[in-house]
Amino acid sequence: MGKRVYNFSAGPAMLPLEVLEASAKALVDYQGKGYGIAEISHRSKDFDAVMDETKSRARSLMGIPDGYDIVFSQGGASQLFITIPWNFLQGSADYVVTGEWAKKAAEAAKPYGTVNVLASSESTGFDRIPTGWKPSANASYFHICTNNTIYGTRWSTMPEHPVLFADMSSEFMARVVDVKKFALIYGGAQKNLGPSGVCMSIVRKDLYAKINKSVPKLFNYQVLAEQDSRINTPPTFGIYMLLETYRWIEKQGGIKAIEARNEEKAKLIYDAIDRAPDFYKGTVSDIPNRSRMNITFRLPNEALTDKFIKEAEKQGMTALKGYRTVGGIRASTYNAMPVEGCVALAKHMDEFHAANRT
Ligand SMILES: Cc1ncc(COP(=O)(O)O)c(C=O)c1O
């Protein structure tokens, strides 16, 4: 195998080498049985065991109480932007728009009822988490995106609401969350948990009573949960990779230890920005709500930005280009990014600043 680079991709993103190796082994020969994990029925005993262990490890890692189900689905978080209001929106729902994905989620809900956008930070380039909003009295639920992958903000304190729905795609299992404070948590796997093609939802069971009758079985959260995410063939290999990731998170000391490491990693890069404030400009003005997963900043001009990226690549650091509508640099430092990767990036930032400042 060639040398692994520090891959700062926003997603699909870097995964732990141990997870990749264990999954690759299982793909070729599952536990020495002469077949790979992707070659067996999703209703086989082997896969039943994979499903059970994946869910029980997720439960213990995140402290998911009995009153919640875990559902795996395909179609990406974007499909859940539709499935969720289809299931649970009756009348109206509240959304706070903190970035592109939160905005897409709010748009996708419109065919199902009234969407109240309580607040949006779009007019300031999504550089903050808006404040001063008030939930509506009769909304079916209140929806947030906890970490804004493109703009580099996060809800450092989660809002309180009896029916709180959260897209956690870009910080799933990257920080400790109190699941009891949420009615629904969901996200795509392809940043912190595994490959693209599989989503995980954590659903409070009392929501089932209200599911709209028009939802077909394949998209109905209650049926999905009752049939153990296997109404039809689920993304079996993707689910297997989640299991390997959960084993790995446990070996790291659990989510609390992962979160501490994520804090340390993000601080290395934010400190490098702060050491050269005339050269590197963070795109987020709301400092307490800066993301620990996606660190966004700009250099003085495009030419320097390109040079920064090219020189980083030569040193084994890839995928640092900011999102197309934002520009600049985005360093995504998900769970699998080692501390050394952030040390290397911070060093590159210092050296690049020293060599290129005017
Ligand atoms: C926070 C967030 N939500 C939703 C999505 C959309 O995910 P998908 O491409 O799986 O539909 C993304 C993709 O990057 C994201 O970052």
Whether residue 76 has its Cβ less than 6 Å from ligand 1: yes
- The whole-number pLDDT of residue 108 equals 98
Whether residue 171 has its Cβ less than 6 Å from ligand 1: no
- Pocket test of ligand 1: the residue of 9, 72, 78, 326 to mutate, having most ligand atoms within 8 Å of its CB, is 78
Crossing angle of helices 254-275 and 236-251, in 10° steps, is 80
Closest among 142, 124, 123, 145 to 133, alpha carbons compared: 142
Tell me which residues of the chain have a pLDDT lower than 70.
none
Task: Pick the catalytic residue from 191, 248, 286, 321.
Answer: 191
Whether residue 188 has its Cβ less than 6 Å from ligand 1: yes
Same fold, 17-251 and 254-356: no
List the domain boundaries for the chain. 17-251, 254-356
- The whole-number pLDDT of residue 23 equals 98
Crossing angle of helices 339-356 and 254-275, in 10° steps, is 0
- The whole-number pLDDT of residue 337 equals 98
In the annotation, is 167 catalytic?
A: yes
Residue 77 Cα to ligand 1 middle (Å): 5
Distance in angstroms (rounded) separating the CA atoms of residues 280 and 297: 6
Task: Pick the catalytic residue from 86, 101, 155, 248.
Answer: 101
* CA angle, residues 347, 128, 9, in degrees to nearest 5: 45
Contact 248, 16 (CB under 8 A): yes
Whose tokens are 């299982």? That residue is 26
- The whole-number pLDDT of residue 325 equals 85
Whether residue 286 has its Cβ less than 6 Å from ligand 1: no
Residue 114 identity (one-letter amino acid): T
Whether residue 186 has its Cβ less than 6 Å from ligand 1: no
- The whole-number pLDDT of residue 2 equals 74
One-character DSSP codes across 145-200? ESEETTTTEE-SSPPP-TTEEEE-TTTTTTS---GGG-SEEEEESTTTTS-TT-EE
CATH topology assigned to domain 17-251: Aspartate Aminotransferase; domain 2 (3.40.640)
Contact 26, 50 (CB under 8 A): no
- The whole-number pLDDT of residue 3 equals 86
pLDDT in tens, 219-260: 999 999 999 999 999 999 999 999 999 999 999 999 999 999
Residue 305 identity (one-letter amino acid): T
Contact 139, 94 (CB under 8 A): yes
For residue 26, give every residue at least 6 positions away whose Cβ sits within 8 Å of its Cβ, in sequence order, or none. 36, 37, 240, 244
Separation of first and last alpha carbons in the chain: 41
Distance in angstroms (rounded) separating the CA atoms of residues 218 and 229: 9
Task: From residue 285, give the alpha-carbon distance in Å to each of 21, 54, 153.
Answer: 40, 39, 9
Write down the pTM of the prediction. Answer: 0.98
Task: From residue 282, give the alpha-carbon distance in Å to each of 192, 272, 329.
Answer: 23, 11, 9
Q: How many CB atoms lie within 10 A of CB 288?
A: 11
Distance in angstroms (rounded) separating the CA atoms of residues 175 and 179: 12
**Could you tell me which CATH number the domain at 254-356 has?**
3.90.1150.10
Closest among 248, 255, 246, 220 to 73, alpha carbons compared: 220
Structure tokens at 272: 């490098």
